[in-house]
């Protein structure tokens, strides 16, 4: 690997022009001296081709570029990211969500870590979550993450906007983002699991990305999709059966989504299954509260988001 390898950054987007411009600007402003190309992939929305020639983005033609693509695969986030991966040409590829921002030293720190661990295929870094005017840093202390770590805990610090990967390892190794997951929900976590099966993930213990959480509906219209996606995950990763804490966590999430979708009895049954695997699993108790009508799912998620955490 060269000292400053080229990087293609895939930004999947849909109907968020102002946030998109902010995300692109943050990437192009990286202090990294190597070449960076931002690949904007429009999903289920009309592409703005002029974006790649917009001088307002401050593109340095020698080291920075913007390319506009459309998602030619399965509609949704997974298909859009894969469209970018297949069109990428750089030695390294990265993701950034269209509502997130890179900090100036993010890429430098990750590539320095890659030089220190040349066999690595996948590198992440810490994040800071911005919600309702407050900022919460989320950084792991550990510098290496294996499959068992990820089965035991979702480790949300490993956010997709921090993903930096060797393109060859993705295309010829652990594979593209899974497009069969219902609604593309949790596709980033499944992608991490598959990558960790191949090789331990390197983590740079410093904040490199600012993640924006907005006050939205928190997928309230998508609870059934969330449940289906999590059931899909458990069925395809038998490793969860060997890690009670990890299996209980996902079961608790299924329970919460099921109860939030007004299937209260089914949600309670999933909650009891989760608590049987791990009596201390908090998602099981939250799901029981929602199933009993004592808690509003949106209220629960708002309280978690105030601390920079999700379900």
Query: How do residues 236-264 score in pLDDT, each as one tens digit?
Result: 999 999 999 999 999 999 999 999 999 99
Any idea what the CATH number is for the domain that residue 176 is in? 3.90.550.10
What the block records as the tokens of 50 is: 């002029």
- Based on the domain organization, do 50 and 148 belong to the same domain? yes
Q: How many domains does the structure of the chain reveal? A: 2
Among 199, 35, 194, which Cα is nearest to 111's? 35
Last residue of a domain, one of 153, 183, 213: 213
130 and 206, same domain (yes or no): yes
* Residues 252 and 191 placed together within one structural domain of the fold: no
- The answer to whether residue 220 scores a pLDDT higher than 60 is no
CA 222/CA 273 separation, integer angstroms: 23
**Pairing assessment for the beta strands 92-95 and 134-138 based on DSSP bridges:** unpaired
Is 199 inside a domain boundary? yes
**Are the C-beta atoms of residues 127 and 44 closer than 8 Å to each other?**
no
Together in a domain, 57 and 114? yes
CA-based torsion, 50, 10, 134, 190: positive or negative: positive
Asked if residue 268 belongs to a domain, the reply is: yes
What domain range is 188 assigned to?
7-213
Q: Which two tokens stand for residue 161?
A: 């906007």
Q: Measured in whole angstroms, how far is the alpha carbon of residue 156 from the centre of its chain?
A: 8
> Which DSSP state fits 44?
S
Question: What mean pLDDT is reported for the chain?
Answer: 93
Q: Residues 35, 97: one domain?
A: yes
Element (H, E) at 231: helix 223-236
CB 63 within 8 A of CB 28: no
Same domain, 202 and 228: no
Closest CA to 194 of 177, 172, 180, 182: 177
Query: Residue 298: inside a domain, yes or no?
Result: yes
Q: Over the stretch 105-123, which tens digit does the pLDDT of each residue have? A: 999 999 999 999 999 999 9
**Do 200 and 51 sit in the same domain of this protein?**
yes
Residues 134 and 238 in one domain: no
Distance CA 249, CA 261 (A): 18
Which of 180, 213, 246 is the last residue in one of the domains?
213
Question: Residue 122: in which H helix or E strand, if any?
Answer: strand 122-131
Are the C-beta atoms of 131 and 308 separated by less than 8 Å? Answer: yes
Query: Using 50, 70 and 90 to split pLDDT, how confident is the model at 10?
Result: very high
Do 233 and 208 fall into the same domain? no
pTM of the model: 0.92
pLDDT band at 217 (very low <50, low <70, confident <90, very high): very low
- Which residues fall within 8 angstroms of residue 86, CB to CB, at 6 or more apart? 171, 176
Residues 208 and 236 in one domain: no
SS3 of residue 170 by DSSP: helix
**pLDDT of residue 59 exceeding 80:** no
- The last residue of a domain, from among 160, 185, 213: 213
């Amino acid at each position: 690997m060269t000292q400053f390898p080229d990087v293609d950054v895939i930004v999947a987007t849909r109907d968020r022009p102002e946030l998109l411009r902010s995300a692109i600007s943050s990437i192009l402003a990286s202090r990294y001296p190597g070449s960076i190309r931002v690949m904007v992939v429009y999903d289920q929305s009309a592409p703005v081709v002029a974006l790649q020639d917009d001088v307002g983005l401050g593109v340095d033609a020698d080291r920075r570029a913007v390319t506009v693509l459309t998602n030619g695969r399965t509609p949704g986030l997974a298909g859009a990211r894969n469209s970018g991966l297949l069109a990428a040409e750089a030695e390294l590829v990265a993701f950034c969500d269209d509502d997130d921002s890179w900090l100036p030293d993010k890429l430098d720190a990750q590539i320095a870590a890659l030089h220190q661990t040349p066999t690595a295929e996948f590198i992440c870094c810490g994040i800071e979550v911005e919600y309702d005017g407050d900022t919460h840093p989320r950084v792991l202390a550990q510098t290496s993450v294996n499959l068992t770590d990820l089965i035991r805990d979702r480790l949300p610090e490993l956010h997709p906007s921090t993903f930096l990967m060797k393109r060859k390892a993705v295309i010829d190794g652990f594979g593209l983002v899974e497009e069969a997951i219902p609604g593309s929900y949790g596709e980033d976590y499944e992608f991490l699991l598959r990558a960790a099966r191949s090789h331990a993930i390197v983590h740079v213990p410093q904040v490199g990305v600012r993640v924006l959480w907005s006050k939205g509906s928190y997928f309230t219209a998508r609870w059934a999709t969330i449940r289906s996606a999590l059931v899909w995950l458990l069925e395809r990763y038998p490793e969860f059966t060997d890690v009670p804490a990890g299996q209980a966590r996902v079961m608790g999430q299924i329970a919460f989504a099921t109860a939030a979708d007004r299937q209260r009895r089914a949600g309670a049954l999933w909650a009891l299954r989760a608590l049987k695997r791990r009596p201390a699993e908090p998602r099981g108790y939250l799901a029981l509260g929602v199933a009993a009508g004592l808690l509003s799912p949106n209220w629960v998620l708002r309280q978690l988001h105030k601390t920079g955490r999700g379900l």
